[in-house]
Structure 1
Amino acid sequence: MMRGITLQRLQVFCAVYERNSISSAARALGLSQPTASRHLRDFEAASNLTLFVLDKGRVWPTAEADALYSESRFLQDGIGRLETRIESLRQGTGAKLAIMTIGMLMPNVVSRAIAGLKDQMPGLRLSVDVTTADRQLEAMRSGLVDVGIMAGDVATDAETVTSLGHGRLVALLPKELAPAERVVSLNDVARLPTVDTTARGPVGRILDNAVRARGIAFKGAVMCNSLIAVPPLAQALQRAAVLDEFTANANPLPGMTICSLQPEIRFPILAASLSPSGSRVAMDSFVELVRSALP
């Protein structure tokens, strides 16, 4: 492009040509009249041509302007198509994002992030599944998922792993056994009958490591392999349990109290993907929304 001829100056030229008025062109482009006049003067200076003449308050194109407009309107059409494409990308029109998440983060974190993403990109097509971190990684390798949300010490071969924040383990106790300050230690919980969680999952491994490091053992006898089942089972049996804060807070149960652990036991929350996605804008927005939704 000739030095000094910019897309904005070209747009001003075309708008003035079509309307025979600088003020009308300025309004159409959302510019002030002095700004539009300056762009038009700069365009004429760059082309070294007289493109308009002033007659009774109106501007009329010269033969040179006629020739330039017949060429430049194709550029205008291209700019219009580019603007339409940019807007469709912003809206997510035609794009698709496949999301997988672990169960504990679905009710209050991932669901809120998805709602925010749809507000930002209403045209985006979404698929959502809830499964373990291991199955998420298998789905990524098969090209079935764009981004996975995981927690705990996950061994992953993902190309991109983003730290989103942390979650905490908490204790769930029958109300009559909970201290007034709602703070307990693992040793305090170990003195009570408990509902244990399996060490197969990321949170279970973190709890198992913490228990082993302290040389204590829970009075279990009841083992639960599903985190979502721990709170109602603890309520029904009137036993204590240690689980993640998200599951504990998802559905507060009558007669049960959530207590903080001291010292605090935290675990990482991650977003993972294996390769660049065609929905990279949507993916990046979703990951940031998950980060914002975390406590």
Structure 2
Amino acid sequence: MAIRFRQLQAFHAIYESGTVTGAALVLGISQPGVSNLISQLEREAKFKLFARVRGRLIPTPEAGVLYREVDTVVRGLDHVGQAITDLQNKQGGQLQVASQHALSFGFMPRLIAQFAENRPDMSISFQSQYSSKIQEWVVAGLFEIGVCEAPLLYDELDAHPFSLEMVVALHPENPLTRHSVLTPEVLAGEPLIAMGPDHMSHRRTREAFDTAGVPWTVRVHSHLFKNVLSFVQEGMGVAILDPLLLQHEKAGGFVTRPFRPRIMMDNIVVTSRDRPMSALGRAFLEVLLEEIEKSCS
């Protein structure tokens, strides 16, 4: 039996609309084209599918049985077609992004939410993690895009570097807020909230104080910028932090000041060098890099 899917589509469309005219509109073909497809299907099936009653096509009992089988197939292929269209338009699929902790509390969720606004069928896989783990995940194919701190650890990755100028966060009631710019000399004796000794920001801040010949006092060490900021909000000291974290912190409880000499935070956006990205991933990467460029300018 040489039944073609287009014949089943015509049958399905007539069964649901009740007219050849309605089926033609659904399928985007002429009314004679629909009638011809139904005639072909009836010849193959060797039984009538519709009877014309007062200008309307009434399904035969055999057509009712056939419809129940055909409905799942036709709707399933319609879903496949819609999925292909969504992928072509970058509307469907899964966005897979991993980010360092500092950007995962405001910057990345906001950007992903904006990207997803007109993509209701897109699913999202997002995780925050330490930078070395993020690079490992992208190499392994668990995520398409990673945003993390430098340096690049794997030759299998492509990197888009960007640097952010760190700023000082202080409690609003700290007397040092009277200064428009803070330096090691101004911060002499002020308790600092800092990342651990191995972190880039810790090393570069220490170098700035050492070069100025100013001793520094670290009151609290922590492993996340978000935790460091929480101690600042409690009035326990000042901290030199990633500006993107601070821009998206809604709780308040701090003010910021520039620090001199400048302390830069080196970051990278990583993707796999060996594995092709999805159209959705490429579209988000473009948006991400544009937003980062604006934040760095």
Alignment TM-score, normalising by the size of structure 2: 0.61
Give 1:187 shift: 3.1
What's the counterpart of residue 246 of structure 1?
Answer: 244
CA distance in 1, matches of 2:283, 2:174: 44
1:59-98 deviation digits (Å, cap 9, x = unpaired)? xxxxxxxxxxxxxxxxxxxxxx9998455321343x3232
CA distance in 2, matches of 1:154, 1:190: 35
Correspondent of 2:227 among 223, 226, 229: 229
1:95-146 deviation digits (Å, cap 9, x = unpaired)? 3232100111123321122123213544332200000110112222322121
8 Å CA contact retained: 2:164, 2:266? yes
8 Å CA contact retained: 2:242, 2:265? no
What's the counterpart of residue 170 of structure 2?
Answer: 173
1:139-186 deviation digits (Å, cap 9, x = unpaired)? 2232212110013445443431113x4322111223332243531113
CA distance in 2, matches of 1:156, 1:279: 18
Amino acid at match of 1:166: S
What's the counterpart of residue 203 of structure 1?
Answer: 201
Q: 1:147 to 1:255 in 2, by over 3 A?
A: closer
CA distance in 1, matches of 2:118, 2:251: 34
Q: How many aligned residue pairs are there?
A: 214
Correspondent of 1:128 among 126, 129, 133: 126
Give 1:289 shift: 2.0
CA distance in 2, matches of 1:105, 1:118: 18
CA distance in 2, matches of 1:253, 1:119: 25
What's the counterpart of residue 64 of structure 1?
Answer: none
Give 1:191 shift: 3.1
Q: 1:128 to 1:82 in 2, by over 3 A?
A: closer
8 Å CA contact retained: 2:98, 2:128? yes
- For structure 1, list consecutive stretches of 5 or more residues without a partner in the other structure: 1-27, 29-80
Q: Which secondary structure does the structure 1 equivalent of 2:193 belong to? A: strand
8 Å CA contact retained: 1:148, 1:271? yes
CA distance in 1, matches of 2:119, 2:275: 16
CA distance in 1, matches of 2:99, 2:108: 8
Q: Which secondary structure does the structure 2 equivalent of 1:184 belong to? A: coil
Give 1:238 shift: 3.5
8 Å CA contact retained: 1:91, 1:120? no
CA distance in 2, matches of 1:101, 1:154: 14
Give 1:237 shift: 4.3
What's the counterpart of residue 87 of structure 2?
Answer: 88
Q: 1:238 to 1:118 in 2, by over 3 A?
A: same
Matched, 1:264 2:228: no
Correspondent of 1:183 among 181, 184, 193: 181
8 Å CA contact retained: 1:178, 1:259? no
CA distance in 2, matches of 1:207, 1:86: 51
CA distance in 1, matches of 2:275, 2:111: 19
CA distance in 1, matches of 2:252, 2:108: 25
Give 1:219 shift: 1.2
Give 1:230 shift: 1.2
Q: 1:131 to 1:254 in 2, by over 3 A?
A: closer
CA distance in 1, matches of 2:152, 2:290: 22
- For structure 2, list consecutive stretches of 5 or more residues without a partner in the other structure: 1-27, 29-79
Alignment TM-score, normalising by the size of structure 1: 0.61
8 Å CA contact retained: 2:102, 2:224? no
Q: Aligned Cα RMSD in Å?
A: 3.0
Give 1:205 shift: 4.0
Amino acid at match of 1:169: M
Q: Which secondary structure does the structure 1 equivalent of 2:97 belong to? A: strand
Q: 1:152 to 1:168 in 2, by over 3 A?
A: farther
CA distance in 2, matches of 1:253, 1:82: 45
CA distance in 1, matches of 2:276, 2:95: 9
CA distance in 1, matches of 2:269, 2:211: 28
8 Å CA contact retained: 1:178, 1:257? no
8 Å CA contact retained: 2:193, 2:221? yes
